[in-house]
C-alpha cells in the first residue's frame, strides 16, 4: 500500500473498524455479562483502554 495515498489508507482503517463492529459487538452484547473479572480485565486491556 502506498503510504502517501491518504484516501486508500482511510478506507483500510474504516474497513477494519467495520469488521470489528461485525465480529466484536455481538460477542460483547451477548457474552460480556458472563465473563469473569479476569476475562473482563483482559478484554479491557485488549481493547487498548
pLDDT of residue 49: 67
Q: What is the pLDDT of residues 13-49, one digit of tens each?
A: 777 788 888 888 899 899 999 999 999 999 888 877 6
d(Cα 35, Cα 16) in Å, to the nearest integer? 25
Is-above-0.75 flag for pTM? no
How many Å is the Cα radius of gyration of the chain? 15
> How many structural domains is the chain composed of?
1
User: Considering the domain boundaries, does residue 49 fall inside one?
Assistant: yes
Grid-cell match 473498524, residue found: 17
Residue 43 CB neighbours (<10 A)? 16
**CA-closest candidate to residue 28, choices 49, 4, 10:** 49
Q: What is the pLDDT of residues 1-19, one digit of tens each?
A: 577 888 888 777 777 788 8
Domain that holds residue 31: 25-49
pLDDT of residue 24: 85
User: Considering the domain boundaries, does residue 6 fall inside one?
Assistant: no
Q: 8, 1 in Cβ contact below 8 A?
A: yes
User: Considering the domain boundaries, does residue 17 fall inside one?
Assistant: no
Distance of CA 13 to the CA centre of its chain: 11
Amino acid at each position: 500500500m502506498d503510504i502517501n495515498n491518504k484516501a486508500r489508507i482511510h478506507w483500510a482503517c474504516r474497513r477494519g473498524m467495520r469488521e470489528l463492529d461485525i465480529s466484536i459487538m455481538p460477542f460483547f452484547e451477548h457474552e460480556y455479562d458472563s465473563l469473569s473479572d479476569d476475562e473482563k480485565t483482559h478484554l479491557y486491556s485488549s481493547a487498548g483502554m
